[in-house]
Structure 1
Amino acid sequence: MSDSISSDDILYILNNPWKLTESEWGLKENNFIDFYSTYIKNKLDTSNQDGFSKIWKTSNGQAIAILGFYKVGEKKYETFFVASHHMDEFGLKISFDLRNILKEKTLNYPGCTCGLYSASDHPKQIPWFKFIGFNYVPEENRGKQRYFEYVSS
């Protein structure tokens, strides 16, 4: 699965972030927009080589969220998720989509793990990651960043 994700889509999200994305990615002052735009483009390029990506958009074409899943080692993957303010309206639907996509796509990656670090301080962070299929692995935490891991079957 690889949806066409443009630079404009990335910039839309970074300039109109969901409050959790704004906090987690440090976008409050817009000082890192160019850095994160390049970072996301690079991760999407890696996702297209051995992994997958997905974008969700509103009916009028505004980017809601981007998911990237990419290889970092033998049977080891990482993921990122970045979202616009539209997550306030579409968050539940996208949460179900995320869970289904990870279940479906990771069938192609048996025995692999997919990790991510999250600096979100949202009180429902751990239950949300569990809902979409990730386990919290506190021994892998880095400072305020919590580590979550998805294990494919």
Structure 2
Amino acid sequence: MEFTHFDGSGNAVMVDIGEKAVTRREASAQGEIGVSEECYQKILEGSMKKGDVLSVARIAGIMGAKKTSEIIPLCHVISLTKVAVDFEMIGERKDRNPKKRYIRAVCTVRCEGKTGVEMEALTGVNTALLTIYDMCKAVDKSMEMTDIFLCRKKGGASGDYERAED
């Protein structure tokens, strides 16, 4: 088996994408954070002491996607053409902790480039969720981040991918 991120001596290397064609690439990732009822209400009302939680988390998610190559060692620097972070206030989920209320974050990233943007979408969604935690930890230290995954990707040599519904 040949590994793409290791050379013949076992050293970690960045994959050479120099010969790859520039194509349009897009990826979306999502994740959820479970918070207490009190925390959920404060986010909804915009009454958290640190400010508008979701607006700050949106900006953080965008920044996280843009900085992916600085924190994931073998990721390429990519010129992103779009980063969007959206939130859905889900509330109670019958299939989860009944004491928690859930917020879903979705990060969609696009570029015209030689390599995909899956890692940027995943980093963006994780950064958004971590920012929610940071802004709300004074009210609820028991928050839980869950179900973080790649939803879909388009473009590139490996083709399109869409996560199947569970």
TM range (shorter): 0.3 to 0.5
Question: Which has more strand, going by share of residues?
Answer: 2
Tell me the TM-score normalized by structure 1: 0.32
Using CA pairs under 8 Å that are at least 6 residues apart, name the structure with larger relative contact order, 1 or 2.
2
Per the normalisation by structure 2, the TM-score is 0.30
Give the structure with the larger helix fraction: 1
